[in-house]
């Protein structure tokens, strides 16, 4: 942040000279041909920034203008951005920290620069005190990224310079900024293919958070540097000679692993520094014509493996199938004569520039505006995630991190079209990736010509044929089968549509009955019905009436006075002890109640698979590291959980879940008879409008046993179905089962 100026002991003339030297360094760092017009624009932006920040200093005591010049230089040298971005970088703090307004910037430099600076201003000053605040700010940052990727590229440059000058901050600020960098900015740099920046951000974060660990690894790397150099020289000697013989124009370098990645490997593999075998990688960069890049890289691979035995499990071909962020390279791990595994990376000069500077390196080959359009593939994924207004910030963070930060797999359609999906994606994710309607009607898939369920997890290289049925509609359970943001968004959208359609049918019924009773169709009368039937909202009332939960035609004619409906408020049954009382007794306190439903925005919960609770069941919440698990009070594990883990039990109640379907099991037995199976399936599928997932019958010595897994809306819906089945004369026993 800017500090008040104190010029008592400062050599102002020396500072002016230093500012000019840094400005000239920025001009020299500009990529490509520098035109007079470009130089004029940069000079204009520099002069305005210099004037705006003239009375401000950084925490270190330096003139504030050093910072925007440094950010612009990172944009030019390390990311390869063009003149528009450099102008925005020089001015990025002016609107927030000085008297310059956004309209001033727009008048001086046009709409594009103003839009970028507006985005940068919106996402500065992020506070990360709580998870939800952190998530909200994360979403805000991604909103700006979806508009123009240059916003986030300049923000990354800004963050990198702040991390390089972190020493002047207090320890508390250092920890906060370093944590924020690891949580958000380093993964973003990785996703954009900016590997050098990503590695430096991680290293600088580790240095701030755990300085002793950082300096220890740094010292060990320096200590072994001479040995490592001798080893690399011996290792590459035969490769170098063979490449020269083949007339390759090439460069070979030994690249040590970043300190953060070494530390991470020590943590995840539980090994010491000495046991991390791949402390460095050999990189071979060949100068190739575009049409010969792939062939040349494979020729180099062939030469390397002529001298050293490769590990067949460690070949990574990102030339044939580049990563989503544009990374192209051929990686192999070979055994050296000394018995050490060595990673060898083979790439062309162009691939190396993309690997180091990300997709932004394409500025060297295309115009800046063209490049921004080339990023649309990734931005469209982000826009999809942002398009669901119902997604809360924490869910959004999880979706974004999973969909854009995880590794990807490649799957193929029957016609050979390649689709890129996050690792862990299912056949249902694949269906929604093809088209939302194909996803909605998916009933299964053929993976490599073998029939699988829609929940089948795909592997790299799978060929997937989606099987659909026009009768199929999305169900709540599907949310457990998908991992991509697109699929989750489309399923939730379909579930909301289903509720709206049913509610419209219920609304017509209510309006018709109000006319029949002689009551006015107004909000007051609708609210009277809502209170009478204990609905949570008019939409909830309409939905319940459409589902047959309330029969208005069977009601006695209610009194109507001056068009106003007169009905008593509904009273909830008190014949059973409420869950709140049971849990309060267990906890010995009157804490708040955890609410399960669509309006829950702040807590992650799951329905426990050991008892499959559905709305209407008496339930309690059990706190786990992954979130809250919802169990039925009569769950087989309930007694053990309540007695041994009382402090982790929370009260829970249902709300807002009537619009979805839950899987429940019913088991029945009785006397076998002709046509019995047909009668039972008719009752289940037609009379109660229930969707069956599976049904099985077994008959032996005149006695039958059956089991059906069906989708119901709540405990009352299930109870009605059980009573209908009990009405069949041959059926002697009907009971609910948990699986």
Instruction: Retrieve residue 691's tokens.
Output: 């969707």
Please check whether residue 406 lies inside any domain of the structure: no
The average confidence (pLDDT) of the chain is 77
Are 181 and 238 in a shared domain? no
Please check whether residue 384 lies inside any domain of the structure: no
Q: Identify which has the larger pLDDT, 285 or 185.
A: 285
Please check whether residue 84 lies inside any domain of the structure: yes
Q: Which of 162, 181, 209 is the last residue of a domain?
A: 209
Asked if residue 542 lies in contact with residue 531, where contact means CB atoms within 8 angstroms, the answer is no
Closest to 598 (Cα-Cα) out of 663, 654, 664, 526: 654
Structural domain of 503: 493-565
CA distance 126 to 140: 10
Residues with catalytic roles: 96-97
Are 199 and 228 in a shared domain? no
For residue 376, pLDDT beyond 60: no
User: Which CATH number do you get for residue 80?
Assistant: 1.10.3210.10
Please check whether residue 722 lies inside any domain of the structure: yes
Q: Identify which has the larger pLDDT, 656 or 649.
A: 649
Please check whether residue 297 lies inside any domain of the structure: yes
For residue 448, pLDDT beyond 80: yes
Q: Which of 565, 599, 618 is the last residue of a domain?
A: 565
- Provide the terminal-to-terminal Cα distance of the chain, rounded to the nearest Å: 59
User: Which CATH number do you get for residue 351?
Assistant: 3.30.460.10
Are 501 and 555 in a shared domain? yes
Please check whether residue 430 lies inside any domain of the structure: no
Are 167 and 225 in a shared domain? no
Please check whether residue 35 lies inside any domain of the structure: yes
Are 141 and 238 in a shared domain? no
Please, which pLDDT band fits residue 439 given cuts at 50, 70 and 90? Answer: very high
Buried b (16+ CB within 10 A) or exposed e, 501-536: ebbeebbebbeebbeebebeeeeebbebbbebbebe
State how many domains the chain has.
Answer: 5
For residue 142, pLDDT beyond 70: no
For residue 652, pLDDT beyond 90: no
Are 600 and 638 in a shared domain? yes
Range with top average pLDDT, 22-36, 84-98, 580-594, 646-660 = 84-98
The model's pLDDT over 316-331, given as tens digits with 9 standing for 90+, comes to 888 887 776 677 899 9
Which stretch of DSSP H or E encloses residue 148?
none
Are 30 and 178 in a shared domain? yes
pLDDT of residue 651: 66
Output helix, strand, coil percentages for the chain, rounded to the nearest 5: 50, 20, 30
Are 124 and 267 in a shared domain? no
Are 641 and 506 in a shared domain? no
Are 351 and 267 in a shared domain? yes
Please check whether residue 174 lies inside any domain of the structure: yes
pLDDT of residue 599: 44
**Whole-prediction pTM value?**
0.58
Q: Which range, of 71-75, 230-234, 568-572, averages the lowest pLDDT?
A: 568-572
Q: Which of 153, 179, 209 is the last residue of a domain?
A: 209
User: Which CATH number do you get for residue 721?
Assistant: 3.30.70.260
Are 628 and 688 in a shared domain? no
Are 80 and 52 in a shared domain? yes
CA distance 737 to 714: 15
Please, which pLDDT band fits residue 656 given cuts at 50, 70 and 90? Answer: low
For residue 497, pLDDT beyond 80: yes
What's 653-681 look like in SS3?
EECCCCCCCEEEEEEEEEECCCCHHHHHH
């Amino acid at each position: 942040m800017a500090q008040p100026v104190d010029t008592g002991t400062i050599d102002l003339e020396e500072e002016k000279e230093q500012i000019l030297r840094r400005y000239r360094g920025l001009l020299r760092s500009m990529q490509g041909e520098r035109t007079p017009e470009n130089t004029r624009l940069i000079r204009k932006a520099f002069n305005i920034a210099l004037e705006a920040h003239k009375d401000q200093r950084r925490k270190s005591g330096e003139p504030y203008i050093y910072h925007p010049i440094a950010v612009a230089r990172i944009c030019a040298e390390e990311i390869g951005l063009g003149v528009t971005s450099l102008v925005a970088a020089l001015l990025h703090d002016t609107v927030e920290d000085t008297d310059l307004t956004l309209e001033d910037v727009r008048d001086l430099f046009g709409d594009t620069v103003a839009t970028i600076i507006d985005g940068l201003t919106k996402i500065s000053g992020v506070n990360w005190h709580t998870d939800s605040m952190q998530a909200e700010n994360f979403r805000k940052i991604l909103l700006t990224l979806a508009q123009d990727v240059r916003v986030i590229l300049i923000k990354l440059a800004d963050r990198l310079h702040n991390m390089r000058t972190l020493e002047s901050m207090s320890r508390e600020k250092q920890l906060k900024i370093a944590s924020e960098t690891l949580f958000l900015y380093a993964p973003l740099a990785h996703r954009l293919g900016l590997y050098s920046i990503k590695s430096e951000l991680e290293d600088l974060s580790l240095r701030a958070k755990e300085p002793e660990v950082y300096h220890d690894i740094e010292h060990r790397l320096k200590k072994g540097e001479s040995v490592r150099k001798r080893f690399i020289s011996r290792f590459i000697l035969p490769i170098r000679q063979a490449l020269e013989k083949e007339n390759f124009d090439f460069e070979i370098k030994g690249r040590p692993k970043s300190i953060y990645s070494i530390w991470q490997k020590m943590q995840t593999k539980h090994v010491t520094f000495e046991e991390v075998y791949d402390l460095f990688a050999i990189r071979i960069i060949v100068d190739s014509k575009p049409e010969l890049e792939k062939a040349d890289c494979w020729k180099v691979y062939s030469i390397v493996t002529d001298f050293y035995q490769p590990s067949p499990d460690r070949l990574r071909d990102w030339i044939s199938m580049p990563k989503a962020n544009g990374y192209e390279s051929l990686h192999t791990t070979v055994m050296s004569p000394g018995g050490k595994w060595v990673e060898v990376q083979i790439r062309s000069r162009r691939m190396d520039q993309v690997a180091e500077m990300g997709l932004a390196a394409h500025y060297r080959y295309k115009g800046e505006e063209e490049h921004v359009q080339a990023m649309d593939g990734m931005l469209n994924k982000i826009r999809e995630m942002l398009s669901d207004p119902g997604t809360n910030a924490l869910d959004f963070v999880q979706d974004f991190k999973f969909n854009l930060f995880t590794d990807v797999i490649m799957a193929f359609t029957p016609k050979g079209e390649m689709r890129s999906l996050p690792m862990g994606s299912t056949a249902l994710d694949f269906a929604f990736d093809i088209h939302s309607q194909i996803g909605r009607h998916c009933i299964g898939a053929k993976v490599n010509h073998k029939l699988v369920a829609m929940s089948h997890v795909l592997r790299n290289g799978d060929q997937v044929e989606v099987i659909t049925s026009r009768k199929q509609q999305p169900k709540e359970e599907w949310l457990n089968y998908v991992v991509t943001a697109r699929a989750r968004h489309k399923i939730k959208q379909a579930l909301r549509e289903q509720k709206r359609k049913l509610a419209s049918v219920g609304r017509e019924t209510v309006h018709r009955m109000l006319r029949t009773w002689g009551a006015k169709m107004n909000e007051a009368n609708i609210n009277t019905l809502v209170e009478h039937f204990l609905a949570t909202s008019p939409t909830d009332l309409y939905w319940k009436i459409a589902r047959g939960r309330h029969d208005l035609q069977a009601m006695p004619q209610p009194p109507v006075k001056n068009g106003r409906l007169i009905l008593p408020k509904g009273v909830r049954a008190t014949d059973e002890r409420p869950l709140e009382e049971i849990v309060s007794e267990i906890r010995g306190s009157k804490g708040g109640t955890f609410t399960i439903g669509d309006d829950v925005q702040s807590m992650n919960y799951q329905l426990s698979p050991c008892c499959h609770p559905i709305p209407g069941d008496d339930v309690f919440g059990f706190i786990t590291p992954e979130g809250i698990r919802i169990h039925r009070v009569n769950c087989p594990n309930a007694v053990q959980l309540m007695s041994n883990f009382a402090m982790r039990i929370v009260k829970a109640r249902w709300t807002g879940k009537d619009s979805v379907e839950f899987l429940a099991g019913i088991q029945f037995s009785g006397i076998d008879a002709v046509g019995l199976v047909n009668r039972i399936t008719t009752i289940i599928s037609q009379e109660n409008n229930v969707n069956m997932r599976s049904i099985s019958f077994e008959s032996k010595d005149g006695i039958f046993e059956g089991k059906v897994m069906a989708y119901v809306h709540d405990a009352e819906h299930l109870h009605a179905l059980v009573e209908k089945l009990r009405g069949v004369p041959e059926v002697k026993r009907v009971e609910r089962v948990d699986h």
